Structure 1
Amino acid sequence: MIATNLHGSVAPTRETYEELQVAYDHFNEQLFGGTLPSCLITLQREKRTFGYFSPARFASLTGTTTDEIALNPTYFAVVPIVETLQTLAHEMVHLWQEHLGKPGRGRYHNDEWASKMESIGLMPSSTGQPGGKRTGDMMADYAITGGRFLGACEALLTGSFKLSWYDRFPSEEHVRIGAQSQATRIEGIQGTTVPMSSNQALASAIRPGGNVRNPAALQTSGTESGHIQSPNNSNRIKYTCGGCKSISVWGKPRISLICGVCKSAFIST
């Protein structure tokens, strides 16, 4: 039986983690030949990281252990879903190396890890952009055009797969990172636009740079249900590239922005 909330919809916890498990299983089959063991996927707001892998982090009542792959939900609304899936695949390579390879010392991403990343269609890069270092302690990546990862993404995203829930309060830094994502430059597949700029309902709910609800600042909406909302005190407005149309950022009123892709001016929307 599928758990639902009082309104009859699927419970957000179940919905979120079932979606992430679907993505894990899909990539395990398509990119790793089904060789990876199961793990526990969690959501963690670690600063300055999209995600991480922690071997044998959890233990059960029977004494068995399982690895953890953590994803940072703060980025979900401000980076393309392809980049969120890249993070999952990136950490799955660490899991592969833990069980079937030889991990580097500490946090070091070694040559074996980098070669496996390339084999599944992700180019390791210390900057997340072309030209970055291939190995190191702090590593990002970008999708290889025509590679296996994008093929697996295309198969997943043309189906019914989606991410249903998003953090409403990304920082301004997260928004800037999303606008600069290499994934926004990929053509021909779904999931390469920033969710908060491609979905109007989500865009209306997101408050970049805002604070999590403060009980002292709440006011009632005046409806019969007594539903309460926090006012928007972020003093930020949305700007969209006048040329690309697909790139949006949030910033203070009256700032001047130029798109690094097409060199057009951003327009407040």
Structure 2
Amino acid sequence: MTAVTAEQYAALQRAFDHFNATLFSGTLPQVLITFQRSKRFKGYFSPERFESLAASGERRHEIALNPDVFDRNQAEILSTLVHEMVHVWQEEFGKRSRGGYHNMEWAAKMKAVGLHPSDTGAPGGKETGQRMTHIIVTDGPFDREAAKLLADGIAIAWKSDIRKAGAAKKDKVAYTCGCGTKVWGKPGLRVICGDCAELLASVAAQQGDGVELVQPRGAG
């Protein structure tokens, strides 16, 4: 019987390493890839989300992918992984905007790797903004490298059976500020920090492909 955990994660690790080498010159740190179901995103990036239990306390970024949307073609699934890898690149080498806004630096790097940013997922959409997805550029760097991987037999073989998921619960979510202030409330609130006068970000929706808000660095 196939060890499905090893099969699924090995494919994603292989894809991450391939795109890191070919699209980012091997500069990205290793991350922890997780699966997170949601009706709001295809994937997200959360900086330094995991901490080692060893004495070193080493921290790693998280890239989460939503298996509910793995019924797309393989190149589209891989494009979500690379979308989140651009967030990793910006965290390490650029300057992301406060509150998860997708700025021009992020958009330029997306285009450099062959993913054209679009808030609608269609040509002509805005290239920067809070909620962003992308279009695969035909014969662009990502398109060519994904084709090599797929021709070599890589496959994301398992997806969620959304018929088993049931209705999504409207649970409370956490709202956090960069100063450490944290409150809980219903989804969709606009909460202002009394100390910083800044809009708190929802932890339930981090940077990613679909819904875009940043979890503050080091939040637990």
Question: Which TM-score bucket, shorter chain as reference?
Answer: 0.7 to 0.9
Please say if 1:75 is aligned against 2:108: no
Q: Is the 8 A contact 2:48 2:60 kept in 1?
A: yes
- CA positional deviation for 1:212: 4.5
If you compute each CA radius of gyration, which structure gives the higher value, 1 or 2? 1
Q: Which residue of 2 aligns with 1:134?
A: 127
Alignment of 1:1-269 (within 5 A): 9-62=1-54, 63-77=57-71, 79-169=72-162, 210-212=163-165
Identity of aligned residues (%): 51
**Deviation of 1:81 (Å):** 1.4
Structure 2 CA distance for aligned equivalents of residues 90 and 26 of structure 1:
14
* 8 Å CA contact 2:118, 2:125 repeated in 1: yes
TM-score (norm 1): 0.59
Q: Which amino acid aligns with 1:15?
A: E
TM-score of the superposition, structure 2-length normalised?
0.72
| Cα deviation 1:200-224 (Å, max 9, x = unaligned) | xxxxxxxxxx3459xxxxxxxxxxx
Q: Which has the higher contact order (CA 8 A, sep 6+)?
A: 2
RMSD of the alignment, in Å? 1.2
Letter in 1 for 2:70: F
Total equivalences in the alignment: 164
Partner Cα separation in structure 1 for residue 82 and residue 31 of structure 2: 13
| Cα shift at 1:48 | 1.5
Unaligned runs of 5+ in 1: 1-8, 170-209, 214-269
Measure, in 1, the Cα distance between the counterparts of 2:145 and 2:128.
24
Compared with structure 1, are the counterparts of its residues 105 and 211 closer, same or farther at alpha carbon in structure 2 (3 Å cutoff)? same
Q: Alignment partner of 1:106: what SS? A: helix
